[in-house]
Amino acid sequence: MAHQAHAYHMVDPSPWPLTGAIAALLMTSGLAIWFHFHSTTLMTLGLILLLLTMYQWWRDIIREGTFQGHHTPPVQKGLRYGMILFITSEVFFFLGFFWAFYHSSLAPTPELGGCWPPTGITPLDPFEVPLLNTAVLLASGVTVTWAHHSIMEGERKQAIQSLALTILLGLYFTALQAMEYYEAPFTIADGVYGSTFFVATGFHGLHVIIGSSFLAVCLLRQIQYHFTSEHHFGFEAAAWYWHFVDVVWLFLYVSIYWWGS
């Protein structure tokens, strides 16, 4: 191995930024082709390329960190900054949808009947499934913290069990929310109420699925002995992301489900 006189990571040349960029091109132009010419081939191709890029890019990061030892303390600090900044950008993404919700609901127009919820909309009861969903996500926050402490204390079996339980709770939330979507008495096309409800909760649900996937990868890595009690940043990043998803839900629940009913 070539020796370096610094603690930073000079990465090997990689094709994945190019394949990722082409995937973005194919997905966006594929969307336009689907809208105008009813063909989904280009978009599907873009999606497959995106999945291949993500798999190989993150696989290489695991190789560089766990197997090649490139993730020294200064490098890990950079990765921490990166994850924090990414989550911050996601916070701003959701802030936009909350802005839209409060803009429409604080001063409801005459077209809506001058009230919120608008005339004709029967909102979901916040103390039924949405409250259960809140309990499920809060419990998953506890189990993911349990998993973290188990990893730090070298308790392999407990770490695997608590991490698996966290993922199961995440999947339970997704299933409950899917059922709610199916049974809801209003749709996304039902005026600004429907739009704000389904876009905000829909993007949240997508983030729950992303977070659950991230945790599932961590579970596989924990089983394969990748994490040590001192060094397990991949897991910490997944846990941070999961707590972010939980907090967004709490804001959604209080604003849209509870105050908004």
Partner 1 sequence: MLLCAIRYYRVKKGLRPHIPSESPNVIFATPTKLVSESNAAVEYMGANKVPDLQRIFQASDEIPVHLKRGVPDRLLYRTTMALTVGGALYCLVALYIAAQPKNK
- Applying CB under 8 A, the residues found at the interface with partner 1 are 1, 11-16, 18-19, 22-23, 25-26, 29-30, 32-33, 36-37, 41-42, 45-46, 48-49, 52-53, 56, 60, 63-64, 66-69, 156-157, 160, 223-226
Half-sphere exposure of 104 (CA within 13 A, CB side): 21
How far apart, in Å, do the first and last CA atoms of the chain sit? Answer: 63
Q: How far is the CB of 56 from partner 1 (least distance, A)?
A: 6
Residue number with CB closer to partner 1 (53 or 140): 53
Tokens of 53: 């890029």
Residue number with CB closer to partner 1 (68 or 88): 68
Q: How far is the CB of 73 from partner 1 (least distance, A)?
A: 19
Tokens of 21: 């960029």
Contact 199, 188 (CB under 8 A): yes
CA dist 51 and 56 (Å) reads 9
CA dist 31 and 50 (Å) reads 14
3-state SS, residue 105 = helix
Give 88-102 as a 3 state SS string: HHHHHHHHHHHHHHH
Residue number with CB closer to partner 1 (49 or 238): 49
Residue number with CB closer to partner 1 (196 or 222): 222
Q: How far is the CB of 214 from partner 1 (least distance, A)?
A: 20
Q: How far is the CB of 7 from partner 1 (least distance, A)?
A: 17
Q: How far is the CB of 154 from partner 1 (least distance, A)?
A: 12
How big is the chain, counted in residues? 261
Residue number with CB closer to partner 1 (24 or 176): 24
Contact 116, 257 (CB under 8 A): no
Tokens of 72: 């020294």
Residue number with CB closer to partner 1 (159 or 208): 159
Of 105, 112, 118, the C-alpha closest to 254 is: 105
User: Hey, how many other C-beta atoms are within 10 angstroms of the C-beta on 88?
Assistant: 11
Q: How far is the CB of 54 from partner 1 (least distance, A)?
A: 11
Residue number with CB closer to partner 1 (152 or 223): 223
Q: How far is the CB of 18 from partner 1 (least distance, A)?
A: 7
